[in-house]
Amino acid sequence: MDSITHVVLGACIGEIILDKNAGRKAMLWGALANSVPDIDFIAGLWMPVSTELIAHRGITHSFFFALISSFFLALVAARWHKAEPISLRKWFWFFLIEIACHLLLDAMNNYGIGWFEPFSSKRISFNVIYVADPLFSILPTIAFGFLLFLKTDHGHRLKWARAGVITAAVYMCFALFNKYRIDKEAKAYASSKFNNTPHYFTTPTLLNNLLWFVVVEDSTGYQIGYRSIFDKNNDVDLHHVDKNEAYLKPVHDHREVMELKQFSQGYYTLEQWGDTLVMNDLRFGQINGWQNPKSRFAFHYYLTHPDDNNLIVQRGRMAGFSKESAKIMWNRMLGKRP
């Protein structure tokens, strides 16, 4: 999830677990603990972009790291707060819960997370919620604001903290239900079009959980399109894009290509833009694809011009976004087709 969500949820959880024993420092420790796994961005500053993609959400987002870091953070906090009646055991469980919350939330979006590092490089991604969903974060953020200004002995502090966490949990249940429905419809479509059920995935679109991006593998590439939870017809409206695997032959053994294939979990296509060979990761959707079905993918990596690949996950995310495209997206979210 985005950093703000980790901070505000971490602060609310800190208030609930430590309560008045640590005062406002409970919020500070909570926000810090829930953000700890993202320290891996520092190492990425010195890595090639393709390597950084795999390193991010790797070892620092593993259960192994959660246990080790929770132990050492508990030692530091217990020593720092000798005057407060908080045991070393409670500090340990506090940090473990905070970091585990971070790992669970990050696994719910489409980037992929290395839960089992360093023992396995398998990436976990449930594709349940967009990496920044305002409806998921808004009430925890409001609760965080109240906790900042309410006195430490105010009777409503705990209520606000619980409200922030509970509403986020309820919204996650809503997202899980949407995921179940969209996956069921995508699987039914795939089964009806092919002899056996091929690989497919679904993921929420930009900043919402109502409109979903659907990808179904076929013999030469993928069927892609969009599905709203309010769509009434049973047909999933998809169109074909070629994978163009042959484009990789001259560079198939290059390190960056192998890293990108690993990162994409197999969902990629190749395109030739003039003299530039481009690799797309389908998991991050299209740029305004609900308006233009043939639009480019948000994640595209220049294989022949690697120096131009800074911030590739964010590249073009909002390109061409306008009042018209926002209106079209809103209508598709509500199940209205052009």
CA-angle at 233, arms to 228 and 234, nearest 5°: 90
As a whole number, mean pLDDT of residues 218-223 equals 90
pLDDT digit string, tens, across residues 234-251 = 777 889 999 999 999 888
134: pLDDT confidence band, cut at 50, 70 and 90?
very high
For residue 137, pLDDT over 90 is answered with yes
CA distances from 194 to 268, 323, 330 (A): 20, 38, 32
Is pLDDT of 336 > 80?
yes
Mean of pLDDT values over 49-54:
84
State the pTM of this model. Answer: 0.91
Q: Is the pLDDT of residue 191 over 60?
A: yes
Average pLDDT over residues 199-219: 93
Residue 5's pLDDT is what? 95
Residues 6+ apart with CB under 8 A from 256: 48, 49, 50, 51, 301, 303, 306
pLDDT at res. 51: 86
pLDDT (average), residues 151-159:
84
Mean pLDDT calculated for residue range 262-289? 90
Region 253-280: mean pLDDT is: 89
Mean pLDDT value across the chain: 89
Instruction: Decide if pLDDT at 306 tops 80.
Output: no
For the cut 80, the answer to whether the pLDDT of residue 17 exceeds it is yes
The rounded percent of the chain whose pLDDT value lies above 70 is 93
Least confident of 39-48, 87-96, 306-315: 306-315
Q: Looking at residue 314, what is its pLDDT?
A: 54
Q: Which two tokens stand for residue 242?
A: 């070629």
- Spatial neighbors of 93 by CB under 8 A, at least 6 apart, are 17
Mean pLDDT across 219-230: 93
- The average pLDDT across 67-79 equals 95
Q: How confident is the model at residue 193 (pLDDT cuts 50, 70, 90)?
A: confident
**Mean pLDDT, residues 56-63 taken together:** 94
Alpha helices in 108-236 (DSSP H): 134-149, 157-193
In the chain, the N- to C-terminal Cα span, in Å, equals 32
- For the chain, the structural domain boundaries read 3-174, 198-333
Burial of 162-197, coded b for 16+ CB within 10 Å and e otherwise, reads ebbbebbeebbeebeebbeebbebbbebbeeeeeeb
For residues 38 and 55, is the Cβ–Cβ distance under 8 A?
A: no
**Confidence (pLDDT) at 83:** 78
Centre a 10 Å sphere on the Cβ of residue 281 and count the other Cβ atoms it contains: 24
Q: What is the mean pLDDT of residues 9-13?
A: 95
* Measured distance CA(199)–CA(219) in Å, rounded: 11
pLDDT of amino acid 225: 94
User: How sure is the predictor about 310, in pLDDT bands with cuts at 50, 70 and 90?
Assistant: low
What local confidence, expressed as pLDDT, does residue 319 receive? 66
pLDDT more than 90, % of the chain: 59
- pLDDT value, residue 315: 58
At residue 51, φ and ψ (nearest 5 deg) are -70, -40
> In this structure, what are the phi and psi dihedrals at residue 247, rounded to the nearest 5 degrees?
-60, -20
Q: Which of 81-95, 99-113, 152-166 has the highest mean pLDDT?
A: 99-113
> Can you give the length of the chain in residues?
338
Summarize pLDDT for 249-258 with one digit per residue, the tens.
888 888 888 9
SS3 of 246-311: the string is: HHHHHHCCCHHHHHHHHHHCCCEEEEEECCEEEEEEHHHCECCCCCCCCCCECCEEECCCHHHCCC
